[in-house]
A and B are shown apart, each in its own frame.
Chain A
Amino acid sequence: MIVQGLFYTAALVALLASLLVVTSKHAVHAILYLVVSLLALSLCFYLLGAPFAAALQIIVYAGAILVLFVFAVMLFNISQEDVRREDQWLDWKAWVGPTLLVLLLLAEWVLFIELAANPSGSEVVLVDARAVGARLFGPYLLAVEIASFLLLAGLVGGYHLAKKLPEESQ
């Protein structure tokens, strides 16, 4: 009972924070709401029985990637004018279309979950680090490899961009 309450609270926090990510007028505030959303999501993971995923969610997403985001946005020197311009962009004409589409998607999701609801879904199965590793290098090996190729491409690209050109170095 307590666990369910915690889960729904965390889910609510995640939802609200995600909403605020989109509606915040200040970029840094938006990213911070994203951090909150990710933290709430990690709590959801934990309560669903995936502690390893929850920890990685915080370490990798909230602790590293979004730090980089904040780091980059910090340097943009956002002024009051930018905030005002952002305010103009948040016109109802701009957001009503995407919202409708997303609501449609949500309806589909709910329908799908309702249809696919299995009777054993209520009990929590603990997925520990060993299980995650076995899954990643078992059935999902191809996905891991593709992701690693993508990251490698990013790495090579970053190296290329950061490399000094010969004529510049002279």
Chain B
Amino acid sequence: MWSQLVTIWRVFVHLFDKKDTVQYPEQKPYLAPRYRGRIVLTRDPDGDERCVACNLCAVACPVDCIALQKTEDEDGRWRPAFFRINFSRCIMCGLCEEACPTYAIQLTPDVEMCEYERKNLVYEKEHLTIDGQGKYPGYSFYRKAGIAIKGKAKGEADQEKPPVDVRSLLP
């Protein structure tokens, strides 16, 4: 009986405590820069899309909300013909970001995605692509990777040696 009275008193005293509620629309909570929110597609330092349409993100996605189609430019670069994310299915897990080999997919702290129509939550490449480079400035896949494209043969990438001529006997 006494413990019940003490409980009642202690609960009553909570009336004068500071409230924990964050008054959301007026008072935004702090979201860390690496908070996993909405996906963006970034560009490399030259302003080209980083995405090479490798489909790894679509494979990694546990809810299968990413759909894309590869196409190839005349200079030999791969690009997505379309890149579509259905954010009504997306669970913001960030597995696509981890799977992405070119840092194209990056998660941003933007979480405020509300629509009255579900169709409006399907984002296309134009909606997703940003002009900047995101969290990894200066990185360009085609300049680092040893893949040959127009204007850059094999072995011409950064930190890459020319290819070994296996037919030669010289070391």
A and B touch in the complex (CB under 8 A): no
Taking Cβ atoms with an 8 Å cutoff, the residues of B that contact A are: none
**Residues of chain A having any CB pair with chain B under 8 Å:** none
